[in-house]
């Protein structure tokens, strides 16, 4: 994705209830390897996702609740966005509230706990996925973007 400025990132969260969005160091971001900008609050309870909307090209920020994913049994966990297969504790449950206040429900997904799907698809983070997929990186990227867009669109956040 194209590099974003601090102002662009902050503006993308306008209208959200949480007004203190702790920005990551944007000078250290590998923008060329990212499909979305994602980071986690130091407290671990919130996550942040910024994408360029495929609908209108606008920069859209979404705040996500981050909870522990307690799978019913210990074992492998798969990110629902990038399909990276983690050993236990590699994923977290992220939930987004619907933007329309009258429909105040949230929509959750199991996602890489550090919101670093883009780097995992490109094999830039260790350890590699437990399950080796014979898909081209381009296909993985496309699949991940589709899943992310579907999620955000369902919550009326694209
Ligand atoms: Zn992922």
Task: Please choose, from the candidates 63, 134, 141, the residue with its C-alpha nearest in 3D space to the C-alpha of residue 98.
Answer: 63
| Residue 70 pLDDT > 80 | no
* CA within 13 Å, CB half, 155: 23
What pTM value is reported for the model? 0.92
Distance CA 82, CA 99 (A): 24
Residue 72 has pLDDT above 60, yes or no: no
Q: Is the distance from CB of 56 to CB of 8 less than 8 angstroms?
A: no
Supply the mean pLDDT for the chain.
91
- Sorting pLDDT into bands at 50, 70 and 90, what band is 103? low
- 102 CA to centre of ligand 1 in angstroms: 30
How far away, in angstroms, is 50 Cα from ligand 1 center? 15
Please report the pLDDT score of residue 73 as a whole number.
62
What percent of the chain is modeled with pLDDT above 90?
73
CA of residue 40 to ligand 1 center, whole Å: 14
* Rounded average pLDDT over 37-47: 95
Least confident piece of the model among 28-37, 68-77, 93-102? 68-77
């Amino acid at each position: 994705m194209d590099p974003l400025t601090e102002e662009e990132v902050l503006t993308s969260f306008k209208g959200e209830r949480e007004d203190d969005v702790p920005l990551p160091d944007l000078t250290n971001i590998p923008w060329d390897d990212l499909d979305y900008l994602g980071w986690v609050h130091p407290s671990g309870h919130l996550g942040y996702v910024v994408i360029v909307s495929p609908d209108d090209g606008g920069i859209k920020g979404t705040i996500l609740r981050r909870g522990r994913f307690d799978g019913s049994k210990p074992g492998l966990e798969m990110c629902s966005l990038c399909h990276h297969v983690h050993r236990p504790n590699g994923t977290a449950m992220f939930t987004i509230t619907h933007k329309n206040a009258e429909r105040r429900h949230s929509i959750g997904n199991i996602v890489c706990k550090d919101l670093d799907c883009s780097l995992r698809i490109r094999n830039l983070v260790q350890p590699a996925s437990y399950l080796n997929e014979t898909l081209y990186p381009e296909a993985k990227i496309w699949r991940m973007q589709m899943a992310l867009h579907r999620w955000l669109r369902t919550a009326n956040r694209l």
